[in-house]
Structure 1
Amino acid sequence: MTIDLAELRSLPISEKLRIVEALWDDISASEEPIVLQPWQRDEAHRRSQEMKAAPSIAIDRDELWRRVNG
Structure 2
Amino acid sequence: MGDSRLIEEALGLPANERADLAERLLSSLDPPEPELEKLWVAEVEDRIEAFEQGKLKTISSQEFFRPPRH
TM > 0.5 between the two?
Answer: no
Bigger relative contact order (CA 8 A; separation at least 6): 1
**Structure number with larger C-alpha Rg:** 2
**Structure with the higher helix share, 1 or 2:** 1
Q: Under TM normalisation by the shorter chain, which class is it? A: 0.3 to 0.5
